[in-house]
A = this chain, B = another copy of it.
Amino acid sequence: MALRAVRSLAILSNPLRTYSTSGPLVNVSINEKTGIATATLQRPPVNSLNLELLTELCTTLEQLEKNKSRGLILTSSSNTVFSAGLDIYEMYKPNMDRYKQFWTTLQQTWINLYGSSYPTVAVVNGHAPAGGCLLALSCEYRIMLNNFTIGLNETKLGMIAPTWFAASMRNAIGTRQTELALITGNLFTTDEALKIGLVDEVVQSKNEALEKAGKFFDKFKRIPPHARTMTKTSLRGADIQALVKSRNEEMNKLTAFINDPKLQEAIGMYLESLKQKQNK
């Protein structure tokens, strides 16, 4: 019941207000010396991405953009999970207004993160399946702690990774590895992820990860920000434009898909099995 409790709590906290710094689900701190922001996902136990968390994250990214941030580290307050991906409760018997807002916010979060003008590093300090992997893939650089798993495992859940999830993965590991990863829904160990380029560095501790992140940001110290931004846009712009063009169409397909009785039944059974496990 932990998941639902946290979710209810989050709803009460009014997720739509503008966070100037931190919210209850995303802690934002800025290093005064370097100007680098750290956004820490803090929705125990597994940082499931619900509307409230995504709204906070999306708003945080917009503010960093407006404030011409020097860089962002995205990480987790948990020692075992970076993010477990989309909160399945958002897909179970959803209120359609909320569901649409949920998906729209996910799309916008990706657009803001994948297309950010400032440098971004994911410090993957725990498991990162599905939507957790997407967040990591949307950054420019991925540093992962040992002994965890990462991947777009949607097919294993009977779902399909949207085209922009696939585009983010292709951008990192190329077409062949993306195809193999997506059709098998594979979760890679940290070492496997390093080998295929799904992460850029492997470390033993979060501190070591933060140190390596600092070295990545240092590469931009003498680079005029507008040149960096325009270069990144020229490389990632096509993927983003593809979603901008198709976002309404995608929403229409999903709202039809999510109400399929068989899908709802399957999700219900999956949630029931989770409860059984937690009650043991």
Q: Which residues of A contact B (CB under 8 A)?
A: 119, 140, 154-161, 163, 166, 170-176, 178-180, 182-186, 197, 219-220, 222-224, 226-228, 230-232, 234-236
A179-B227 contact, Cβ under 8 Å, with A220-B184, A222-B156: no
A227-B160 contact, Cβ under 8 Å, with A183-B140, A234-B166, A235-B166: yes
Return the contact of A175 from the options B174, B183, B184, B234 (Cβ within 8 A): B174
Max chain B Cβ within 10 angstroms of own Cβ: one of A183, A223, A224, A232: A183
Return the contact of A231 from the options B140, B154, B176, B235 (Cβ within 8 A): B154
Task: Determine if A174 and B176 form an interchain contact, defined as CB atoms under 8 angstroms apart.
Answer: yes
Return the contact of A227 from the options B155, B171, B228 (Cβ within 8 A): B155
Contacts of A158 in B (CB 8 A): 224, 226-227
Contacts of A231 in B (CB 8 A): 154-155, 160-161, 182-183
Task: Determine if B224 and A163 form an interchain contact, defined as CB atoms under 8 angstroms apart.
Answer: no
Number of this chain's copies in the complex: 3
Contacts of A182 in B (CB 8 A): 231, 235
The smallest C-beta distance from A237 to any residue of chain B, in angstroms, reads 10
In the complex, A140→B226 CA distance in Å?
Answer: 32
Contacts of A171 in B (CB 8 A): 175-176, 179
The smallest C-beta distance from A254 to any residue of chain B, in angstroms, reads 13
The smallest C-beta distance from A257 to any residue of chain B, in angstroms, reads 10
Closest B residue to A224 by beta carbon equals: B158
In the complex, A233→B184 CA distance in Å?
Answer: 14
A223-B140 contact, Cβ under 8 Å, with A171-B176, A176-B174: no
In the complex, A174→B174 CA distance in Å?
Answer: 8
Extra contacts, 13 of them, besides A160-B231, A184-B219, A186-B219 (Cβ < 8 A), are: A156-B223, A157-B227, A161-B231, A161-B234, A166-B235, A171-B175, A171-B179, A174-B174, A176-B197, A178-B235, A179-B232, A182-B231, A183-B231
Closest B residue to A236 by beta carbon equals: B179
A230-B178 contact, Cβ under 8 Å, with A140-B183, A184-B220, A224-B155: no
Task: Determine if B224 and A179 form an interchain contact, defined as CB atoms under 8 angstroms apart.
Answer: no
In the complex, A262→B193 CA distance in Å?
Answer: 44
